[in-house]
Structure 1
Amino acid sequence: MSEITLTERAARRINEIMASEPTGSMLRISVNGGGCSGFQYAFDVDRARQDDDLVIERDGAAVLVDQVSIQYMDGSVIDFVDDLIGQSFKIENPHAIASCGCGTSFSL
Structure 2
Amino acid sequence: MTISLTENAAKHVQNFLAKRGKGVGLRLGVRTSGCSGMAYKLEFADAVDSEDLQFVSNGVTVLVDQHSLPYIDGMELDYTREGLNEGFKFNNPNVKDQCGCGESFKV
- TM interval, shorter chain, is 0.7 to 0.9
Match of 2:23 in 1: 24
Q: Deviations for 1:75-96, whole angstroms, at most 9, x for unmatched residues?
A: 1111111112511111111111
Asked whether the 8 Å contact 2:24–2:48 carries over to 1, the reply is no
Asked whether the 8 Å contact 1:6–1:56 carries over to 2, the reply is no
Kindly tell me the number of residue pairs found equivalent between the two proteins: 107
Structure 1 counterpart of 2:35, one-letter code: C
Unaligned runs of 5+ in 2: none
Do structure 1's residue 58 and structure 2's residue 57 form an aligned pair?
yes
Do structure 1's residue 14 and structure 2's residue 10 form an aligned pair?
no
Structure 1 residues 77 and 44, CA, compared in 2 at 3 Å: closer, same or farther? Answer: same
Structure 1 vs Structure 2 CA RMSD: 1.8
Report 1:1-108 matches (<5 A).
Answer: 2-84=1-83, 86-108=85-107
Q: Deviations for 1:36-61, whole angstroms, at most 9, x for unmatched residues?
A: 32100011122120233222223432
Structure 2 counterpart of 1:61, one-letter code: V
Runs of 4 or more, structure 1, over 4 Å off, are none
Q: Distance in 2 between matches of 1:107 and 1:57?
A: 26
- With normalisation by structure 1, the TM-score equals 0.85
Q: Secondary structure of the equivalent of 2:19?
A: coil
Unaligned runs of 5+ in 1: none
